[in-house]
Amino acid sequence: MLLQRTAAVLAGLTITATACASSQTNNAALPVPGDATAQVEPDTSTRPGTGTAVTAPSTTPSTTTDDDTTSTDDDATTTSTSAPATTSTTTTTTVPGLDVYDPDCVVEVQSGDSLGLIADAFDDPTVTIATIKAENEIETDVIYAGQVLDVCVDNGLDDITGSERAPNQALVEAARTDAVKRQQEKLNELFDGSGMRELLVDGISGPVTQQRLCAARLALGLDVTRADMEAGSEEEQLLMETDELRQPFTTALLSERWILIDRTCQVMFTGEGDNGITNIFSTSTGSEGYETRDQDRSRAFRFDPALDNGGWHNSTDYPVPEDNPLNGNMYKPLYFDGGQAIHGANNVPTTPQSKGCARLRVDDQETLIAWLGLDELGGATYNERLINVTVNVQGSYATPDAAPADDA
C-alpha cells in the first residue's frame, strides 16, 4: 500500500512540472520591456549561465504559480511541499542546457525579465545594463522572452557563437555612452532658451548631438568640427566648466545687429554688437554645387512677408506648380545676396540641402523676423536701414553630399 501511495504522489508531481513548462512555452514570444529600474523578486532569481530558475525553500504549505517561479524552455525546476508540516517531497526535472558556445556565460530571457533584473542577478560590478547592451549590441532597453544574452562581458569572446572579439569592447562602449549622456545633458543646459531644440539624452552621438557640439565649440573658441567629443579631453573639461555660451569671435560683432551662418555646424547665431547671443537656430545651407556664398557683414536688403499667400513665397529661380510648404518654397524670405536668403521651411535637416539659401524652421523664422521688428510690416520692403542687420557666412561642411531640394 505504501508503494502505491508513493507512486501516486510522484505521478502527480510529474504532471505538475509538465504543465508549468508548457505554460512558459506559450509565453515565449511575448515582448519584455527592458525597464532599467525593475527589481528582482525576493524569492526568485535566475542562476547565472544556466537559465535554470531557483526557488527559495518554503516553510509553510504553498502552491507554486507562474508569479513566483521562473522557468525556461530548456531548464525547468518545480518544487512542491506536501501538506504535513514535518514532511516534504521535492521533484526536480532538468532539460538539456542552451545550445550556445559557453552556457555558463549566456542567459535566456524569461517572460517578465528586464535588463535591470538580469544585471542585478549577478554579483559582478561589470555586469550592468549598459555593458549587457554593449556586449550584445542592443540599442534599446527592450528584450524578448526566448532571447539569449551574453553576460560575460569583455572576455574577448562572443559566448553565444564562440567567435572572437576585441576585449574590453563592452566596458569601453558603456563608458562612452555615459560620457555622451553627460555631454548631452550639458548641451541642453547651455542651449536652453536659445532657440535650439532640446536633445534626447540617450547616449547616442548622432547628427543632432554633433551639430550641438560643433556650435558649442564655435561659441567657446575651440576648433570648429562636428566630431564626437572625447571623454576626459581638454575640450570636454572646458564644456563641462562653462556656465554660458559666448559670442563667436567674428567680424559680425562690429555690426549693430548681426546674423552669423556657420556652414560647418549648420547653425545660425544672432546678436546685437558684442552684447551677447540673442538666438541660436539649426539651419540647412546650400548643397554641393549650390553653396551658400561667403559673406562678411553683408547687409540684408529685402524682406518679403508674402502676405497674399500665407507667408510662402514662390522662388523665381526654382518655381514649383503650387506654393506648398512641403515643396520646399520660401517662408518670409530675408535676402542678403542676390537670390540667396534666410527663409522658413518645413524641412530643415542637419546637412546642407538647399539651393543656396539658409533654411530655418517656420517658427524660428517667425522669431527672427520679430527680433528684427519686421513682423508687423504690411508688405515687402527693400529698405536696408529698416531691416538693419548684416549677415556673415563662414565655415565648410565636411561632407556636402546631401541631395538638393527645391528652393532658392
Residue 337 contacts residue 295 (beta carbons within 8 Å): yes
What band does 96 get if pLDDT is binned at 50, 70 and 90? Answer: low
Task: Tell me how long the chain is.
Answer: 408
Instruction: Give pLDDT, residue 173.
Output: 81
More confidently predicted of 208 and 40: 208
Report whether 188 contacts 197 (CB < 8 A). Answer: no
Answer whether residue 60 shows pLDDT above 70.
no
Q: What is the pLDDT of residues 141-154, one digit of tens each?
A: 899 999 999 999 88
| Predicted local confidence at residue 56, as pLDDT | 37
Over residues 92-109, the mean pLDDT reads: 78
Per-residue pLDDT tens digits for 294-303 = 999 999 999 9
Out of 153-167, 226-240, 393-407, give the one with best mean pLDDT: 226-240
Which residues are 354's β-sheet partners? 286
Provide CB contacts within 8 A for 184, sequence distance 6+. 199, 200, 201, 202, 203, 209, 212
> Per mean pLDDT, which range of 145-154, 172-181, 227-236, 341-350 is the poorest?
172-181
Q: Is 268 helix (H, G, I), strand (E, B) or coil?
A: strand
Whether the pLDDT of residue 188 is over 60: the answer is yes
pLDDT at 207: 94
Residue 196 has pLDDT above 80, yes or no: yes
219: enclosing H helix or E strand: helix 207-220
Does residue 66 have a pLDDT over 50? no
**What is the model's pLDDT at position 292?**
96
H/E element holding 342? strand 340-345
Check whether 160 has a pLDDT greater than 60: yes
pTM for this predicted structure: 0.61
Looking at residue 328, its pLDDT comes to 54
Whole-number pLDDT of residue 171? 78
* CA distances from residue 381 to 152, 303, 305, 334, 359 in whole angstroms, order as listed: 68, 5, 9, 10, 20
Query: What pLDDT shows up at residue 71?
Result: 36
The mean per-residue pLDDT over the stretch 33-37 comes to: 42
Nearest to 393 by CA among 211, 281, 251: 251
| Mean pLDDT value of segment 79-100 | 51
Q: Is 140 exposed, middle or buried (0-12, 13-18, 19+ CB in 10 A)?
A: exposed
pLDDT (0 to 100) of residue 49: 42
Contacts of 39 (CB under 8 A, 6+ apart): 116, 117, 120
pLDDT at 24 over 70: no
Which residue segments constitute the domains of the chain, with CATH numbers given? 23-167 (no CATH), 178-246 (no CATH), 250-408 (2.40.440.10)
Between 308 and 390, residue with greater pLDDT: 390
**Which CA distances in Å does 385 have to 4, 192, 309, 388?**
107, 32, 26, 5
The number of beta carbons lying within 10 Å of the beta carbon of residue 65 is 9
Q: Is residue 363 pLDDT above 60, yes or no?
A: yes
Model confidence pLDDT, tens digit, residues 321-357:
655 555 558 999 999 999 999 999 988 999 999 989 9
- pLDDT of 14 above 50: no
| Distance in angstroms (rounded) separating the CA atoms of residues 128 and 150 | 12
* Mean pLDDT in residue range 10-24: 40
Q: How confident is the model over 361-376, as a mean pLDDT? A: 97
| DSSP-derived secondary structure for 22-60 | HHHHHTTTSEE---TT----TTEEE-TTT--EEE---SS
Q: Which residue has the higher pLDDT, 114 or 88?
A: 114
Check whether 251 has a pLDDT greater than 90. yes
Q: What average pLDDT does range 220-236 have in this prediction?
A: 93
The alpha helices in 65-199, defined as continuous H runs, are 115-120, 129-135, 169-191
State the pLDDT at residue 325.
54
Residue 151: alpha-carbon gap to chain centroid: 24
C-alpha 94/C-alpha 204 separation (Å) is 42
Mean pLDDT of the chain: 78
| Mean pLDDT on 370-381 | 96
Position 135 pLDDT exceeds 80: yes
